[in-house]
Amino acid sequence: MELMIPPGRLDRPVDHETDHVLGLADAEVTLVEYGSYACPHCRAANERIAQARDQLGDRVCYAFRHRPLTDNSLAFRATELAELARTPEAFWSAHIKLMTRSMQLTEDDLVAMATDLGVNADFALGDSDALRRARARVEADVASSRASGVRFAPTFYINRRRYDGPWDESSLVDAMLGTLGQRARRHSCQAGGVHVAAVGRGRSPRWHRLHDVALHRRAGVSKRHRLLSRQDRRVRRVDSFGRRWDCPALGASRQELIEEAPQSAGMQVS
């Protein structure tokens, strides 16, 4: 009997033995990205993810799963090439180079990457055991993306829940720290014997502000980031009234991307 995956949930948890993972297995936050090396939005988000990981350190574990752009042979060949890396270190080195070597993925990027990995430039025409394993791995990630309801790249999941917000560093960190804050609130309520829904009921706005600051401090959020978070919420509030973000690659909402995807050359909707 096939299990039904709830909408907006990751189909399977991160496996440190099979997934491409950066971070500790017991990290408080797990960020999963379904991305493509040929997607300009994924390439733009790659730098923001690195910045978020630098800020959160060991509290976040990042996993990358392949979701090549549909009908893009260059994207599929790039994923297979990355999977030909023999060690995790070699994979992440190839991953970073494929994301950052040029403004847009080209044939020259694949040739250069194949040379670095010690692979023949026409590897895609081969039928070796290593290539078959690489293709099977890519197919498994694509199947996982379909089961998880991924419609475009990149799509992010934070602790197995789909994240539909903007991809800039502040928003990503804010979302992940929000997860930590919810966990801290839940633990504190359980320790005090108080139901979560009852916390803050009937309190003044000032009480809620102080309560949020306390939770952020418990999660390790600096005063500077709290100020940035408030500024970011103001921007999103303007956006909710119909304003559009200046940079779709970093600030577009999920609904905007779905609406714009058919006209976007760098994004495919399945």
134-160 exposure pattern, b = at least 16 Cβ within 10 A, e = fewer: beebbeebbebbebbebbbbbbbbbbb
Residue ranges per domain, the chain? 20-158, 166-247
Lowest mean pLDDT among 103-112, 157-166, 176-185: 176-185
pLDDT of 114 > 80? The answer is yes
The span from the CA of 102 to the CA of 179, in Å, is 34
Looking at residue 179, its pLDDT comes to: 67
Looking at residue 126, its pLDDT comes to: 65
Q: What strand order describes the sheet that includes 60-66?
A: 20-22, 60-66, 29-35, 155-158, 161-163
Sign of CA dihedral 16, 22, 27, 33: negative
Alpha carbon 196 to its chain centroid, in Å, reads: 28
Give the pLDDT band of residue 125 (cuts 50, 70, 90). Answer: low
Q: Among 59, 52, 64, 50, which Cα is nearest to 14's?
A: 64
Beta bridge partners of 22: 62
Give the pLDDT band of residue 90 (cuts 50, 70, 90). Answer: very high
Give the pLDDT band of residue 261 (cuts 50, 70, 90). Answer: very low
pLDDT tens for 16-55 read 999 999 999 999 999 999 999 999 999 999 999 999 999 9
- Strand segments, DSSP code E, in the chain are 20-22, 29-35, 60-66, 155-158, 161-163
Model pTM? 0.68
The answer to whether 31 touches 181, Cβ cutoff 8 Å, is no
The span from the CA of 145 to the CA of 39, in Å, is 16
The CATH class of 20-158 is alpha beta
Alpha carbon 141 to its chain centroid, in Å, reads: 14
Percent of the chain residues topping a pLDDT of 90: 50
The span from the CA of 51 to the CA of 55, in Å, is 6
Secondary structure of residue 46 in the 3-state scheme: helix
pLDDT of 62 > 90? The answer is yes
pLDDT higher for 247 or 161? Answer: 161
What kind and span of H or E run contains 71?
none
pLDDT of 232 > 50? The answer is no
pLDDT tens for 166-221 read 888 788 899 998 866 554 444 444 444 443 333 444 455 555 556 555 555 555 55
Looking at residue 96, its pLDDT comes to: 96
